């Protein structure tokens, strides 16, 4: 396999992985592995070359010729913008056609000066950012739920609010900037807890004097405790207005 073939295969694999990211429940029902592979290959053909600001539209027929078994595949490659999916769906419906399945991932790409596709999908740092944010928020939701279980007057809506953030993040990764901004206190709280645990754990494991262990434990966990008590986003008993 030549270097060009390996690069094309890598791009197709990346597109296959991100094709169903953010898909709503039901959008991938009955979507077989063969169809997934074929869709990724067709998407790669459409994305192979594109100049900035110019949309790419590709259409092909698939399936047999008998009634009910023939479908068309439509690929639209464009800059991300509001209502793009709705507008495309309405244009298709206006022609009297039924939409069988819509997949609309937001894909980060890298192109050369001529518009040739070089990279598609998440890079390592994009993946690291998403996974770290998701993991910290999941931990924050779990801690908030446990605190609410112990003290019902605390964190009455915190866990549910963070879980909604997680759902939004899974549905659309492009919302990560807004979600990180809205949940900055929750992520900071979990990071401080992790740091405090990393500081005091060796003292307890290595058998330091009890007085020293207690003193360092209180000091280490004081900062996350103060952040939690003084921050309404972490301890509010009222749901914020929409």
Residue 66: predicted pLDDT: 61
List Cβ neighbours of 208 (8 Å cut-off, separation of 6 or more): none
Long-range pairs of 29-38 with CB within 8 A, sequence gap ≥ 24 = 31/101, 38/62
Q: Above 80 in pLDDT, residue 49?
A: yes
pLDDT tens across 58-116, in order? 998 876 656 566 788 999 999 888 888 889 889 989 988 888 888 888 887 888 888 88
Please give the Cα distance from 111 to 109 (Å, whole number).
7
Please give the Cα distance from 169 to 131 (Å, whole number).
10
What is the residue-wise DSSP string for 31-52?
--HHHHHHHHHHHHHHHSB--T
pLDDT tens across 155-203, in order? 888 889 999 999 888 777 777 888 888 888 889 899 999 999 999 999 8
Distances (CA, A) of 222 to 12, 35, 136, 144, 208: 50, 54, 20, 17, 20
């Amino acid at each position: 396999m030549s270097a060009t073939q390996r690069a094309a295969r890598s791009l197709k694999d990346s597109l296959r992985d991100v094709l169903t990211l953010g898909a709503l429940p039901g959008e991938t029902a009955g979507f077989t592995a063969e169809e997934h592979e074929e869709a990724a290959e067709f998407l790669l053909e459409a994305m192979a070359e594109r100049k900035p600001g110019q949309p790419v539209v590709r259409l092909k027929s698939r399936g047999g010729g008998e009634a009910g078994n023939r479908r068309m595949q439509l690929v639209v490659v464009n800059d991300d913008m509001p209502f793009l999916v709705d507008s495309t769906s309405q244009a298709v419906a206006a022609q009297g056609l039924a939409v069988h399945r819509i997949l609309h991932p937001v894909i980060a790409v890298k192109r050369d000066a001529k518009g040739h596709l070089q990279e598609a999908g998440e890079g390592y740092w994009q993946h690291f950012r998403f996974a770290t944010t998701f993991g910290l928020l999941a931990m924050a939701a779990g801690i908030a739920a446990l605190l609410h279980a112990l003290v019902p007057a605390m964190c009455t809506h915190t866990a549910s609010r963070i879980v909604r953030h997680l759902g939004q993040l899974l549905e659309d990764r492009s919302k990560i900037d807004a979600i990180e901004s809205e949940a900055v206190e929750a992520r900071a709280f979990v990071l401080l807890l992790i740091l405090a645990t990393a500081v005091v754990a060796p003292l307890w494991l290595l058998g330091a004097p009890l007085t020293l262990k207690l003193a360092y434990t209180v000091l280490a966990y004081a900062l996350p405790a103060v952040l939690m008590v003084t921050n309404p986003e972490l301890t509010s008993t009222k749901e914020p207005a929409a």
